[in-house]
Amino acid sequence: MSGDNTLTRADLAEMLNRQIGLSKSESAGVVESLLDHISSALETGEHVKISGFGTFSLRDKRERIGRNPKTGIEVPIAPRRVLTFRPCQAVRDRIARA
């Protein structure tokens, strides 16, 4: 991983390069292709389930009234679509032990 505790596309490509032996450009292409497929599926409203890892899904949130914490003035919050991730139990267990 990068020095700031963030796993990047380059880190994923480097792992593929070391562990599987793909060239650096092939590894980067595989990572880009995978991320593009996931993004495309989410864009069309599909859930993305990666067995042993978790599920990505989109959720539509309706309009609601929020409050500015500094002034206390009520402000409408527009409806929006949010991405959610629900890890599988094995991932939750690993995170809890870390």
* pLDDT for 45 beyond 80: yes
* pLDDT for 3 beyond 80: no
Q: Identify how many contiguous H helices and E strands the chain contains and give both numbers.
A: 3, 5
Q: Does the domain made of 47-98 have the CATH classification 3.10.20.600?
A: no
Mean pLDDT estimate for the chain: 93
Q: Which pLDDT does position 5 carry in this prediction?
A: 86
- What are the strands of the beta sheet with 54-61, ordered from one edge? 48-50, 54-61, 80-87
Residues of the chain with CATH 4.10.520.10: 47-98
